[in-house]
């Protein structure tokens, strides 16, 4: 059986899907009995001498109106054109497979309802955790348990940068450049380093856990742009490494959700998730702790996850149900979240500060850990500290 598909967007992931389908063609046909054929590729750019040049189109209407195309891979990214095309593809009776976290985080619930109506599927395995086969087992896990915590390291670019800074003494700028050249970063890397990308992925996981819409505008997001070698040095001396973390705690009255840099105890499993690797952490009432681990970004791992969705869509005879609805989840205001904090200050006599550590290489600095306290308590105590010292950094501890 030949199955014809179209790819929207011939960037890192779109071209990766064509490549994975070619590399694994024999394997796919042998195991599934289906031959997947790329019929159209949509991109506004020209690709002279590309092996798929003859399949290129700039007109989405060609794909939308082609009854032979049963599956559309949306790899354009973003929430505007991607949304329009995904919606139109579903309306015209085609299943959509996408790695687009922004699209799923914002329009997932609406598009699932439309897919249900049309008897097709919207599949998004690569939208969280890149190449980690995560979404399917995660949906199974959250279906049968009461989720208490959803957390993790969900941006490969930031994790790569922080690992390079911590392990190899790389500068932030050089590590970011590397991550871009390796194809990990978004077109605008602000989404990676500003924690917006990771925040959208957290919102997808929380929405799936709660069956409600978790809007990313309501989730506090802080970036890693200002992290320095001093942060790593003082963190290490106190038994921590530094990671861009997403953290979602499901409480009785709502959800505590954050995407931000955190100090992670060196003994925590997330501390050993390095480079482009991602990990999603789930604590369920009866399941206990589960960690999904693998390549969080990169052309072929991400494309492989999209290809697994193409096979799922091809095998599905009807809509695969989702409980995620448009009803909004209650995100609690961050000033009440309780965590320990690591405070680092600049002062004339750092050794005089009780319970603080000092490091010979940074003679004018001191750092200490607070007890677990709310953001509003920390802000209050900082007012006193600022009378005696310059506050350089306040970062949460993930436990
Ligand atoms: N820019 C993203 C990352 C790609 O670095 O994780 C995968 O979503």
Read off the pLDDT of residues 159-207 as tens digits, 9 standing for 90 and up: 999 999 999 999 999 999 999 999 999 989 999 999 999 999 999 999 9
353: tokens are 């500060």
Average pLDDT over every residue of 18-22 = 98
Read off the pLDDT of residues 45-79 as tens digits, 9 standing for 90 and up: 999 999 999 999 999 999 999 999 999 999 999 99
The catalytically annotated residue of 106, 201, 249, 341 is 201
Answer yes or no: is pLDDT of 132 > 90. Answer: yes
38: tokens are 């790329």
CA–centroid distance, residue 391 to ligand 1 (Å): 32
Are 347 and 391 spatial neighbours (Cβ–Cβ below 8 Å)? no
Q: How far apart are CA 85 and CA 87, in angstroms?
A: 5
CA–centroid distance, residue 294 to ligand 1 (Å): 13
Q: Facing residues of 289 across strands?
A: 283
106: tokens are 């914002």
Are 341 and 373 spatial neighbours (Cβ–Cβ below 8 Å)? yes
CA–centroid distance, residue 189 to ligand 1 (Å): 9
Average pLDDT over every residue of 304-320 = 94
CA 249 to chain centre: 17
Helix (H) or strand (E) holding 237, with range, is helix 229-237
25: tokens are 């063609």
Question: Phi/psi of residue 177, each to 5°?
Answer: -60, -45
Answer yes or no: is pLDDT of 104 > 90. Answer: yes
- pTM of the predicted model as reported, rounded to 2 decimal places: 0.97
Answer yes or no: is pLDDT of 319 > 90. Answer: no
Question: Phi/psi of residue 261, each to 5°?
Answer: -70, 135
201 annotated active-site: yes
Per DSSP, the residues of 22-42 read: HHTHHHHHHHHS-EEEEEEEE
Residue with tokens 């490549």: 19
Q: Is 12 in the pocket of ligand 1 (CB under 6 A)?
A: no
Other C-beta atoms closer than 10 Å to the C-beta of 220 total 17
Are 13 and 309 spatial neighbours (Cβ–Cβ below 8 Å)? no
Probe residue for ligand 1, chosen from 185, 190, 277, 306 as the CB with the greatest number of ligand atoms within 8 Å:
185
Probe residue for ligand 1, chosen from 82, 101, 130 as the CB with the greatest number of ligand atoms within 8 Å:
130
Q: Facing residues of 357 across strands?
A: 367
- Which pLDDT score, from 0 to 100, does residue 205 have? 98
172: tokens are 């932030």
């Amino acid at each position: 059986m030949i199955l014809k598909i179209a790819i929207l967007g011939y960037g890192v992931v779109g071209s990766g899907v064509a490549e994975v389908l070619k590399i694994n063609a024999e394997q796919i046909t042998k195991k599934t009995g289906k031959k997947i054929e790329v019929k159209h590729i949509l991109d506004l750019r020209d690709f002279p001498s590309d092996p798929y040049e003859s399949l290129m189109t700039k007109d989405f209407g060609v794909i939308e109106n082609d009854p032979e195309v049963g599956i559309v891979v949306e790899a354009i990214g973003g929430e505007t054109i991607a949304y329009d095309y995904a919606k139109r593809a579903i309306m015209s009776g085609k299943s959509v497979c996408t790695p687009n976290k922004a699209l799923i985080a914002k329009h997932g619930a609406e598009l699932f309802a439309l897919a249900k109506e049309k008897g097709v599927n919207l599949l998004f395995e690569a939208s969280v955790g890149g190449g980690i086969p995560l979404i399917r087992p995660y949906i199974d896990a959250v279906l049968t348990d009461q989720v208490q915590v959803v957390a993790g390291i969900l941006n490969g670019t930031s994790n790569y940068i922080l690992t390079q800074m911590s392990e190899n003494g790389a500068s932030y700028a050089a590590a970011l450049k590397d991550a871009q050249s390796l194809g990990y970063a978004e077109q605008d890397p602000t989404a990676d380093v500003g924690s917006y990308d990771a925040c959208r992925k957290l919102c997808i996981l929380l929405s799936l856990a709660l069956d409600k819409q978790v809007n990313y505008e309501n989730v506090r997001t802080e970036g890693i742009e200002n992290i320095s070698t001093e942060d790593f040095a003082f963190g290490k001396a106190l038994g921590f490494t530094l990671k861009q973390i997403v953290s979602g705690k499901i409480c009785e009255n709502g959800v505590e959700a954050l995407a931000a840099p955190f100090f992670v105890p060196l003994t925590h499993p997330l501390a050993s998730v390095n480079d482009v690797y991602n990990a999603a952490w789930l604590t369920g009432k009866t399941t206990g702790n589960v960690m999904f681990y693998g390549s969080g970004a990169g052309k072929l791992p991400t494309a492989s996850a999209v290809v697994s969705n193409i096979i799922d869509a091809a095998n599905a005879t009807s809509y695969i149900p989702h409980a995620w609805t448009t009803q909004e989840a209650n995100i609690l205001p961050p000033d009440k979240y309780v965590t320990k904090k690591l405070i680092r200050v600049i002062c004339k006599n750092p050794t005089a500060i009780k319970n603080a550590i000092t490091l010979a290489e940074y003679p004018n600095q001191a750092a200490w850990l607070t007890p677990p306290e709310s953001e509003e308590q920390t802000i209050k105590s900082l007012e006193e500290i600022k009378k005696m010292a310059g506050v350089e950094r306040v970062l949460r501890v993930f436990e």
